[in-house]
């Protein structure tokens, strides 16, 4: 069994932490982002990894940076065999990367070198990729540039959302990481350098990207909607009971039909695009829960021929 430092922050990282503990490895410390204001009351909230680690009785550290000599000395004193990093959210300086005997292993949500960077799940769907995966890689100083150790490929189905893919990766990634640790403990963890051709960077999704442009082809609109679902959510404006309201589209599908981009083609919420059409399946008005199209239409009463944008 290995002495492991676990470094992670969001829900995505929790199953990996639990699998590592469940396999009997000694987690000597957990690093996570500091508690931050959240919710209507803006009370400080611990990260999902922080909360789970405390339930498991593990020591938790939440530094705002790892660049100070003091933090680096504290990390080195843990005498870890390996650090496991899953969506931690802080850059690791060279001193941290080199402190564990076997370095740092990162779980990344793409088929590297495609989609290095912050938002690989969303970008893969927004670009219409048919396949992605989770990979365990040995971390280097560059952004997601280290050698790849293990891969699990995932088919992206036509209507899969970023949320669906996130949940699938979360489970597969946890299993992949513990298999990597098992191989590492036997001295059998193979590594393969990344190909430098085909590098793409998955920049962070900005809120300004979220508005739907129905003048684009239906496939692009559909990819945009599912790539931003459930967060931050692709949105458009609709006139509901005489007032313009912002509505998030949670799920859609490709549909037959044509017309002026943004026009409502039928009572089933089929919307014309620049080429073809999409059917809106699940929607969410501001301040309300998500609902299916039939329930949404019952309250919104959009008319055939109306335009949304």
Are 145 and 85 spatial neighbours (Cβ–Cβ below 8 Å)?
A: no
Domain boundary among 201, 232, 262: 201
Q: What percent of the chain has pLDDT over 90?
A: 92
Bigger pLDDT: 104 vs 37: 104
Which pLDDT score, from 0 to 100, does residue 285 have?
A: 93
- Condensed to tens digits (0 to 9), the pLDDT of residues 257-292 reads 999 999 999 999 999 999 999 999 999 998 889 999
pLDDT for 240 beyond 80: yes
Residue 37's pLDDT band, with cuts at 50, 70 and 90, is confident
Q: Are residues 89 and 197 in the same domain?
A: yes
Q: Rounded mean pLDDT of 199-217?
A: 95
Which pLDDT score, from 0 to 100, does residue 42 have?
A: 75
Q: Are residues 23 and 152 in the same domain?
A: yes
Q: Are residues 104 and 145 in the same domain?
A: yes
Q: Which residues line the annotated binding site?
A: 110-113
In this structure, what CATH number is given to the domain that contains residue 74? 3.40.50.170
What are the residues whose beta carbons fall under 8 Å from the beta carbon of 236, sequence distance 6 or more?
Answer: 211, 212, 214, 246, 247, 249, 262, 308, 309
Domain membership flag for residue 134: yes
Question: Which pair of tokens denotes residue 216?
Answer: 């684009």
Q: Are residues 59 and 154 in the same domain?
A: yes
Domain boundary among 182, 201, 220: 201
Domain membership flag for residue 90: yes
Cα–Cα dist 49/58, whole Å: 11
Which pLDDT score, from 0 to 100, does residue 33 have?
A: 97
Q: Are residues 34 and 178 in the same domain?
A: yes
- Pairing outcome for strands 116-117 and 43-45: unpaired
Instruction: State which residues form the domain around 288.
Output: 207-300
Mean pLDDT of the chain: 96
Q: Are residues 89 and 134 in the same domain?
A: yes
> pTM of the entire structure?
0.94
Q: Which residues line the annotated binding site for (6S)-5,6,7,8-tetrahydrofolate?
A: 110-113
Which pLDDT score, from 0 to 100, does residue 61 have?
A: 98
Domain membership flag for residue 130: yes
Cα–Cα dist 292/290, whole Å: 7
Q: Are residues 45 and 25 in the same domain?
A: yes
Domain membership flag for residue 73: yes
Bigger pLDDT: 32 vs 142: 32
Domain boundary among 201, 219, 242: 201
In this structure, what CATH number is given to the domain that contains residue 291? 3.10.25.10
Q: Are residues 296 and 190 in the same domain?
A: no
Are 29 and 78 spatial neighbours (Cβ–Cβ below 8 Å)?
A: yes
Upstream peptide bond of 232 is cis (omega within 30 degrees of 0): yes
Query: Does residue 309 sit in helix, strand or coil?
Result: coil
Domain membership flag for residue 309: no
Q: Are residues 134 and 224 in the same domain?
A: no
The secondary structure of residue 59, as a DSSP letter, is -
Are 238 and 244 spatial neighbours (Cβ–Cβ below 8 Å)?
A: yes
Q: How far is CA 202 from the centre of its chain?
A: 11
> How many domains does one find in the chain?
2
Which pLDDT score, from 0 to 100, does residue 289 have?
A: 93
Taking only Cα atoms into account, the Rg of the chain, rounded to an integer number of angstroms, comes to 22
What are the residues whose beta carbons fall under 8 Å from the beta carbon of 17, sequence distance 6 or more?
Answer: 6, 8, 27, 30, 49, 52, 53, 56, 86
Q: Rounded mean pLDDT of 177-196?
A: 96
């Amino acid at each position: 069994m290995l002495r492991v430092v676990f470094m992670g922050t969001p829900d995505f990282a929790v199953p990996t932490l639990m699998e590592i503990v469940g396999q009997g490895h000694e987690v000597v410390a957990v690093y996570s982002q500091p508690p931050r204001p959240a919710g209507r009351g803006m009370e400080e909230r611990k990260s999902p990894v922080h909360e789970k680690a405390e339930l498991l009785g593990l020591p938790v550290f939440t530094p705002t940076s790892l660049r100070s000599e003091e933090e680096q000395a504290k990390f080195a004193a843990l005498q870890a065999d390996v650090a496991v990093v899953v969506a931690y959210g802080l850059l690791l300086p060279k001193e941290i990367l080199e402190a564990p005997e076997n370095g740092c292993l990162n779980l990344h949500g793409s088929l590297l070198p495609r989609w290095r960077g912050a938002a690989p799940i969303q970008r893969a769907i927004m670009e219409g990729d048919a396949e992605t995966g989770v990979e365990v890689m040995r971390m280097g100083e560059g952004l997601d540039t280290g050698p790849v150790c293990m891969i699990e490929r995932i088919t992206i189905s036509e209507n899969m959302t970023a949320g669906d893919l996130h949940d699938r990766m979360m489970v597969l990634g946890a299993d992949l990481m513990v298999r990597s640790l098992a191989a590492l403990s036997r001295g059998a963890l193979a590594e393969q350098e990344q190909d430098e051709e085909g590098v793409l960077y998955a920049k962070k999704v900005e809120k300004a990207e979220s508005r739907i442009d129905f003048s684009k082809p239906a496939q692009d609109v559909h990819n945009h909607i599912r790539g931003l679902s459930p967060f931050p959510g692709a949105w458009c404006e609709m006139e509901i009971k005489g007032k313009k309201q912002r509505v998030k589209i949670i799920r859609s599908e490709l549909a037959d039909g044509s017309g002026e981009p943004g026009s409502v083609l039928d009572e089933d919420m089929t919307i014309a695009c620049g080429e073809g059409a999409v059917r809106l399946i699940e929607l969410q008005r501001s301040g309300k829960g998500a609902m299916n199209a039939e329930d949404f239409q019952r309250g919104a009463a959009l008319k055939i021929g109306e335009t949304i944008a």
